[in-house]
Amino acid sequence: MLKAIIVDDEEFARSSLYFLLQENCPDIHISGIAKSVKEARTLLATHAVDLIFLDIAMPGENGFELIPDVQQSNATVIFTTAYDQYALKAIKANAIDYLLKPIDIDDLKDAVNKASKHHKLNQLDKQSRTESLKNLEHDLNNQQNINKITLPASQGYRVIELDDILHIEADSNYSVFNLVNKEKITVSKVLKDFEEILPENRFLRIHKSSIVNLTHVKEYYNKNGLTVALQNGETIAVSRRRAGDFYEKIKSYTIKNSDK
């Protein structure tokens, strides 16, 4: 049984999430409900809390201003948000768990299941969690390109610089991140999930099984089919269907960076 609190300034959001949890998540016990960060601090100081459903956009103090208090505990944060498309990308890239309003029951169950596993196995790496939350706050506040991505790993989470990603390859229902240091990280998400998250101006899907970081493209040539050569010497084929997109994107990327 996980002890949870709900933090949201909207009464309807608080009550609807409470009833969804009551009806669908029997392993969650709601220890308290707060309508502000100030009230949430009081709950954290007076209750043992395993899980926090935390709204981001609230008047006065936003959800991120509760993070220093959260860091003093072992609680897992599940963000609940109605943010726009850009912010949603940042949240997907850097938040450990999130729910988009209006909350879908299946999404809620999945998020709670993940939180339960993390709690039982104690796999949340505190330093990585803190870094991912700080980076998420920076991206949302500054409306800049995403610069890091948080990936689930066997013993917690890894926060990866986008510049360190060479390419990502599909492996059935998994995605394999190939890094500049030759490390490989396998994540249980399909390639399409990362195609939607990663900045379009830097990453391009060139094949049904490959996404490349344009930063690391050394050359490309058309000999028995279009091929991309990366700075580490690897070569990856570009599918015919995606060749036009590649030519257009690499030309735009090269011009943009030559102007800097």
The β-bridge relationship of strands 2-7 and 51-55 is: parallel
Q: Structure pTM? A: 0.79
pLDDT score for 180: 97
pLDDT (mean) for 162-179? 96
Q: What whole-number percentage of the chain has pLDDT above 70?
A: 94
Beta strand segments in 82-225, E: 98-100, 148-153, 156-161, 165-171, 174-179, 184-187, 203-207, 210-213, 217-222
67-83 residue pLDDT tens: 888 878 778 899 999 88
Specify the pLDDT at position 219.
94
pLDDT band at 28 (very low <50, low <70, confident <90, very high): very high
Q: How far apart are CA 20 and CA 227, in angstroms?
A: 50
| pLDDT tens digits for range 29-43 | 999 999 999 999 999
> CA nearest 44: which of 22, 66, 27?
66
Q: Which of the four pLDDT bands, split at 50, 70 and 90, describes residue 164?
A: very high
**Is the per-residue pLDDT at 242 higher than 60?**
yes
